[in-house]
Amino acid sequence: MPAWHTDREKQTLFDEVALVHMAGLYYAALRLTGRPADAEDLLQETYLRAYAAFDRFTLGTNARAWLYRIMHNLFLNTVSRAETRRTQSFSATPPATLAAVADPGAPDPAAGVDAMLDHRLSAALAALPADFRSAVVTVDVGGFSYDEAATILGCPVGTVRSRLYRARHLLRTALANDRATLLEGGHADV
């Protein structure tokens, strides 16, 4: 039975339990998606789903892990849909026209986050397979333990460790190759 009697009580309790994790979830969503607009969409859908399922959440348990699990599942579903259905944009307006209409003076909400992470690391992270990226974001960005990550990602702890090992190896290799290219006087693609 829910701990609230009215919709207002539910909203207040949800705000106290879930909204305190929004900044960390946005940062993780940005690392998963690689684009601020996609991260905002993922975060919004995560909170919509969480609010809809809030009556099934057990108060006193790890709300942050619960929210990450919802976000992870949404991310994987989005990646899966995109891979199986490669189509043109639904917009009748060409992307170049949309870009011309955008306000170039509007502040980018992710500018502070992107400034913290080198663009090469962001590109290398975005190039990882979705399962590897999810493991890195959950453990290294989200700060969850391997056991918590296994619960969030819905796989055994050994799989989390394996994905992290492979993802970190791929990141090191990509960054080392990028560094070597820069040291030779060339320009790195990432």
Cα-based distances in Å from 78 to 75, 164, 188: 5, 21, 29
36 domain residue, yes or no:
yes
Kindly state whether residue 44 falls inside one of the protein's structural domains.
yes
Q: Determine the structural domain holding residue 73 and report its residue range.
A: 7-101+110-183
Q: What is the pLDDT of residue 116?
A: 41
The residue ranges of DSSP E strands in the chain, in sequence order, are none
pLDDT at position 144 is 93
* pTM, to two decimals: 0.66
User: Does residue 116 fall inside a structural domain?
Assistant: yes
Whether residue 114 lies inside any domain: the answer is yes
Mean pLDDT by 10 residues, the chain (190 residues): 81 92 92 90 95 92 94 88 56 49 50 55 88 92 92 94 95 81 57
Residue 190: inside a domain: no
What pLDDT shows up at residue 182? Answer: 59
Please report whether residue 2 resides in a domain. Answer: no
**CA count, 13 A, side-chain hemisphere, 75:** 32
| pLDDT of res. 34 | 87
122 assigned to some structural domain: yes
Q: Which CATH number belongs to the domain containing residue 47 in this structure?
A: 1.20.140.160
Domains: count for the chain = 1
**What pLDDT score was predicted for residue 53?**
93
Does a structural domain hold residue 1? no
